[in-house]
A and B are shown apart, each in its own frame.
Chain A
Amino acid sequence: NAGVTQTPKFQVLKTGQSMTLQCAQDMNHEYMSWYRQDPGMGLRLIHYSVGAGITDQGEVPNGYNVSRSTTEDFPLRLLSAAPSQTSVYFCASSSSGTGLFFGQGTRLTVV
């Protein structure tokens, strides 16, 4: 099993550009989520999904969209990137009774 795979690992965007951060898991977990981590801070929940077709907002959802068409994939979309979205983004998955399994992160810089 590859676990949770995030792509790309690094990305530089210009203000106003759009992009999609990809996240895929091969553990058949029903729950997936996106977190962001800013320097010196803990992780903050952006969006989460408890199953295909079901998504909900976390603590900091503004500026981000998500969808969950399959169990395996949970992409995060930035529609119009802003410098405030410069951060490290982590995708995670879990199932009932397990801890969260995290990907290795996407380091995004918006200039």
Chain B
Amino acid sequence: DAKTTQPPSMDCAEGRAANLPCNHSTISGNEYVYWYRQIHSQGPQYIIHGLKNNETNEMASLIITEDRKSSTLILPHATLRDTAVYYCIVRVGSGAGSYQLTFGKGTKLSVIP
């Protein structure tokens, strides 16, 4: 799987949009970008994933650059409950390899009142 690079920490004011960047410059054509988050002491939670088009769901939006070498997870209106570690993971989209995730250290997002 392609290696990802994320900033170790970020702050965001409550009610503002949180934009979390991820660099994956070695991504290959069959690899998807996945985002998970882990709220303190809980199991990781799936947020969103995409291949090359921008994606949106009830939790967040995922913006992938045209060359697919980087992406941004957007939480449109951050709340205190969004304080968590956010993981950007790149992996193939099918077959046994698609089920193995490599978690890095992620970005610690702190939402400030």
Question: Which positions in A face B, CB cutoff 8 Å?
Answer: 4, 31, 33, 35, 40-45, 48, 50, 56, 58-59, 88, 90, 92, 94, 96, 98-105
Contacts and interface: CB of A to CB of B under 8 A. Distances in A.
Given A33-B100, A48-B100, A100 B94 contact: no
B43 A90 contact: yes
Task: Describe B's contact surface by its main secondary structure.
Answer: loop
Given A42-B87, A48-B100, A58-B100, A100 B44 contact: yes
Interface stretch (B13-21, B22-30, B34-42, B69-77): B34-42
A87 B102 CA distance: 17
B36 A31 contact: no
B44 A90 contact: yes
Task: Describe A's contact surface by its main secondary structure.
Answer: strand
B105 A101 contact: no
Contacts of A35: 103
Nearest to B101: A100
Given A42-B104, A42-B105, A96-B94, A102 B99 contact: no
Given A42-B103, A50-B99, A100-B36, 4 more contacts: A42-B106, A45-B100, A48-B99, A102-B44
Interface residues of B, number: 22
User: By CB atoms of chain A within 10 A, which of B36, B101, B104 has the most?
Assistant: B101
A58 B103 CA distance: 13
B103 A99 contact: no
Nearest to B99: A31
B94 A99 contact: no
B45 interface: yes
